[in-house]
Amino acid sequence: MATASSTQPITDTPTQELGFSISQGVNWSDYITYRPIYPTSFFERIYSYHAQKPGSAWSVAHDVGAGCGIVSSILATRFDNVIVSDPNDGYAALARKLLVEEASLPESKFRFLQETAEKSSLESGTVDLITACECIHWTTPDDSIKDFGRELKTGGTLVITYYTRPLIEASERTVKAWLALWAAFSQISRGGLYDKAYYIGNNGLDSLEFPEERWERVKRVYINAQGTLEAFAVNDRVGGSMVKEGEERVWVEDDEDWRHMHGIEWFKAYLATWMPTTPVSALQGFWDELELALEGKEVRTRTPLAMVFATKKA
Ligand SMILES: C[S@@+](CC[C@H](N)C(=O)[O-])C[C@H]1O[C@@H](n2cnc3c(N)ncnc32)[C@H](O)[C@@H]1O
């Protein structure tokens, strides 16, 4: 039986402000350059979950919280039609520009919508697969998951994914300096919007609930977490678990697709893609310590990733 901790209600509280907006400092060009690229294996996991179901259809995919359309562009290679939605001003238009004008993908394949995960304009029972990648923590998940259930056809697939900051695999001093930097950044990213995002992301999406009357085949995959949800915890704002008996939990370790080599300049640029964008000078002492610990070298990183799959029941 799922239980929520006393901290759980915060994830259910709608916030007025939209997360990951231009006013918080989003720069899509930096996002594309410094965030991890979704590898082929990421999409293979999605497709193999969807394909295992008898009669699975590949007609309509909906990429929710699509941002500039990175995931949508790959879905377009497998699905006849892709709905690309995002509520922040200008993002659906940017996705259209990148996918249709720059990548020359056929416009007829796509529909671009400015709307939230919680309340979509799509007709009920019309979507085969929904992806909500790196965005559920900016939404009110209970409302979003309810609306996803409304949009999906019976037997349709919901995939929610979240990767957190990479962990460094190097000297103790380097590891400590990197974690101290994130602890300091966490003090800056406080308030309703950020607190809620951390409560959802910090436990590898275990705070997401899939009511049994609407969902089945719930499968939670934790990649590169080394057997513990602590890998996802950037700070102590951790939500309670809503994992139910009978849900499948899979741990995948040492996934090379989410392991890289990085040095100080990348670490600085990467942190700047997290909201609110924080200048290096605001955390100068922490950056200095990390730079000293790195001794001019690149070190191996490992990004923890959670992927949650669910199927809409009849
Ligand atoms: C980190 S970006 C992820 C973009 C893309 N899905 C990806 O994986 O690269 C987070 C996205 O969530 C969107 N977002 C914020 N609030 C949302 C809401 N209530 N419903 C849906 N998306 C939301 C933001 O506009 C932003 O584009």
Q: Tell whether ligand 1 has an atom less than 6 A from the beta carbon of residue 88.
A: yes
Nearest CA to ligand 1 atom 10: 135
C-alpha to C-alpha distance for 256 and 15, rounded to whole angstroms: 37
| Contacts of 312 by beta carbon, 8 Å cutoff, 6+ apart | 149, 152, 153, 154, 155, 156, 158, 214, 215
Q: What percent of the chain has pLDDT over 90?
A: 93
Residue 8: pLDDT band with limits 50, 70, 90: very low
Residue 14: pLDDT band with limits 50, 70, 90: low
C-alpha to C-alpha distance for 141 and 109, rounded to whole angstroms: 28
pLDDT recorded at residue 19 = 96
135 CA to centre of ligand 1 in angstroms: 4
- The model's pTM is 0.96
CATH of the domain spanning 8-312, picked from 3.40.50.150, 3.40.50.300, 3.90.550.10, 3.40.50.10170 = 3.40.50.150
Tokens for 85, please give them: 């939605």
Residue pLDDT, tens place only, 188-208: 988 889 999 999 999 999 999
Nearest CA to ligand 1 atom 1: 134
C-alpha to C-alpha distance for 213 and 55, rounded to whole angstroms: 21
**What is the domain partition of the chain in residue ranges?**
8-312
Residue pLDDT, tens place only, 100-126: 999 999 999 999 999 999 999 999 999
Q: Tell whether ligand 1 has an atom less than 6 A from the beta carbon of residue 135.
A: yes
C-alpha to C-alpha distance for 302 and 164, rounded to whole angstroms: 10
Residue pLDDT, tens place only, 208-253: 999 999 999 999 999 999 999 999 999 999 999 999 999 999 999 9
Q: Tell whether ligand 1 has an atom less than 6 A from the beta carbon of residue 127.
A: no
Residue 11: pLDDT band with limits 50, 70, 90: low
172 CA to centre of ligand 1 in angstroms: 34
C-alpha to C-alpha distance for 14 and 143, rounded to whole angstroms: 9
205 CA to centre of ligand 1 in angstroms: 16
Residue 16: pLDDT band with limits 50, 70, 90: confident
Query: Span 73-88, mean pLDDT?
Result: 98
Residue pLDDT, tens place only, 120-154: 999 999 999 999 999 999 999 999 999 999 999 99
